[in-house]
Structure 1
Amino acid sequence: MDILYLLIPLSLVLVFAIGAVFWWAVNHKQFDDLEDQGQRIVDDLDG
């Protein structure tokens, strides 16, 4: 049971860190144009 005193705060820190990275990505418009990147790869292979 003593390990829970380590694992619970560690998991909360990890969740907040992942949330902060996701928040940063959304605010910096990293997810705005997902289709263009995939199409650009296909266009480069054709020609």
Structure 2
Amino acid sequence: MGVTDPVGEHLPSRIAAVTGSPEFLAVSMAGHHLRAASAEEDDYYWVVQHEFS
């Protein structure tokens, strides 16, 4: 089972609406799946998906 958003879609946009930044980090309950978004200088964005074996 991966990381799911229980509310729906557009998690980075929803976070940015509240905090002013789309950054987040989420790990599945079992610790096997990681999802993250980061805003860097010059409007660069990193989106990371990783599955641990």
TM-score bin (small chain)? under 0.3
Max Rg structure = 1
TM-score calculated relative to the size of structure 1 = 0.23
Structure with the bigger RCO (C-alpha within 8 Å, sep 6+) is: 2
Higher strand share: 2
